Amino acid sequence: MRAPDLPVSIERPPAALSVSSFVSSFDRFAVTPMLVLIAKDLDVSLSASVTAASGYYLAYGLSQPLWGLLSDRFGRVRVMRGALLGAALAGLVSSLMPVLGALVAARIVAGACFGAVIPTSLTYVGDTVRASVRQRALTDLMASASLGTALATGLGGVLAGLLNWRVAFVVPAVCALVCAFALRSLPEPTRAGPAGAARGVGRYLGAVLGHGWALLVFGLAFVEGAVLLGVMPFLATALEHAGFAAAVAGLAITAYGLGLWALSKLVKRLVGRWPAPVLMTVGGAQLCAGFAIVTVHVSLPTVTVTALLLGGGWSFLHSSLQTWATSVVPEARGTTIAFFASALFVGSAAASWAAGPLADHGRYTLLFGLAAGAAVPLTVVAALARRRYGALGAEAPQPQPE
């Protein structure tokens, strides 16, 4: 039975959405400290094992426009439930794959399915939370995802090091199955009627792809994904290259999720007090400083500090970008968020693929230095563009979708 439509009235994301976002983040980041172990177990190079992560990210990103259109057409909750069921199956299959090619194929399917969860959750919040408090609700959702990230990087490394790397794929798969059933009682947000939605696919795409500000936000998301999500997994491999165990490397990267969780709480308090361009500037500065530290020296303390700063950078910069994305084309919010997430994870996939050979040869100084340098223009363009957007009055209150 379909849940009743929900009017715009809530101020916090529903618990079922927060838990689902937690599980999605866990699955996405659990592989980070396992890449070296996968390479050894399957007898492949590190750059080859990285395809298990980059393939996941690419599928996660490329599937976003489809999920956005489907959620605009059929509903947010229905799409998330179906995707979680597919993710559960793909995760279980991933744990059984004996060769790299089969593992990569299973991870691609898992990435494509888990790709529906967080963007559709963001869209749900955009549909149901009024604009004046939306970034606070989005930071709550991001805090749940960050806890998933923290546990994934820490627990993933521990499970891989003490038990087997395959176990780390089973845990989120089982949780995804539970979440799919838990979402049954979540009401659908009010959206366009079936007849209008059926003829509206072209209208949604046209509204989004013909909007200059939306295209700019997508470009910024691509670069952010490349700089942060594409390079961050190599913090763990850099530590393992320096002689640390996978479990230790994973625990060091846990600082990213903990920093994200703690500083997202700070961002929630600063929203409304600090302008969005200032929040973006603070976040970008943390990204640059974090990668600069490990460019100078890779050690357990420096990687831990860098991971903490990257979590802060994501809290300040990314939350501001995704809030911007929820409001830039409100009449096609699901499609907009889908393209935003697609750009983010296609950027991360491209960067992780390109960085694989550098990591394979131990050239981490060059890798992290490039990330630190790229964070500078990202921050400058994002802050100036967001300031210009506000100055033009483009962020005036928008009508909510019918």
H/E element, 221:
helix 212-224
Could you give the CA distance from residue 264 to residue 320 in angstroms, rounded to a whole number? 11
167 burial level (CB within 10 Å; 0-12, 13-18, 19+): middle
Q: How far apart are CA 367 and CA 188, in angstroms?
A: 44
Instruction: Determine the pLDDT at residue 76.
Output: 87
The amino acid present at 8, given as its one-letter code, is V
- Identify any residues that bridge with 189 across adjacent strands, giving them in sequence order: 6
**What value does the mean pLDDT of the chain take?**
82
**pLDDT score for 397:** 39
Two structure tokens written together for 368 = 């992290």
**Residue 219: what pLDDT?**
94
Quick one: DSSP state of residue 317? I
Task: Answer yes or no: is pLDDT of 282 > 90.
Answer: yes
pLDDT band at 227; cut points 50, 70, 90: very high
As a whole number, mean pLDDT of residues 178-192 equals: 82
Separation of alpha carbons 105 and 56, rounded Å = 9
Q: Is the pLDDT of residue 382 over 90?
A: yes
pLDDT at 393 over 70: no
**Scanning the structure block, which residue is given the tokens 């960050």?**
146
CA triple 74-80-83, angle to 5 deg? 105
Distance CA(230)–CA(47), nearest Å, equals: 13
Q: Is the pLDDT of residue 265 over 80?
A: no
The CATH T-level fold of domain 10-191 is: Growth Hormone; Chain: A; (1.20.1250)
Contact 126, 75 (CB under 8 A): no
Tens-place pLDDT, residues 350-381: 888 888 888 888 899 999 999 999 999 999 99
Q: How far apart are CA 258 and CA 267, in angstroms?
A: 14
pLDDT tens for residues 123-156?
Answer: 888 788 776 677 677 777 777 776 776 677 667 6
pTM: 0.72
* CA separation for the pair 223, 229 (Å, rounded): 10
3-state secondary structure of 5: strand
The C-alpha atoms of residue 395 and residue 131 are separated, in whole angstroms, by 10
Structure tokens given for 293: 């530290």
Q: What is the pLDDT at residue 198?
A: 44
Q: What is the pLDDT of residue 180?
A: 93
Phi then psi dihedrals of residue 274, to 5 deg? -105, 135
Give 160's pLDDT tier (boundaries 50, 70, 90).
Answer: low
By the 10 Å C-beta count (0-12 exposed, 13-18 middle, 19+ buried), 15 is classed as exposed
Q: What is the pLDDT of residues 57-76, one digit of tens each?
A: 888 878 877 887 788 778 88
> What pLDDT score was predicted for residue 154?
67
293-to-135, 236, 298, 307, 362 alpha-carbon distances in Å: 30, 15, 8, 10, 17
Of 232, 241, 244, the C-alpha closest to 351 is 232
Q: What is the pLDDT of residue 181?
A: 92
> Residue 289: what pLDDT?
96
Looking at residue 74, what is its pLDDT?
A: 83
Q: Percentage of residues in the chain with pLDDT exceeding 90? A: 28
pLDDT at site 157 = 66
| CB atoms near residue 301 (< 10 Å) | 10
Phi–psi pair at 189, nearest 5 degrees: -70, 155
Q: Mind giving me the DSSP string for 355-392? A: HHHHHHTT-HHHHHHHHHHHHHHHHHHHHHHHHHHHHT
Q: 209 or 87: whose pLDDT is higher?
A: 87
What angle do helix axes 76-94 and 117-128 make, rounded to 10 degrees?
160
pLDDT at 20 over 50: yes
User: Where are the CATH 1.20.1250.20 domain residues in the chain?
Assistant: 10-191, 202-392
Residues of the chain above pLDDT 70, percent: 88
| Candidate from 70-84, 146-160, 218-232, 277-291 with smallest mean pLDDT | 146-160
Mean pLDDT of 48-54: 84
- CATH code: domain 202-392 is 1.20.1250.20
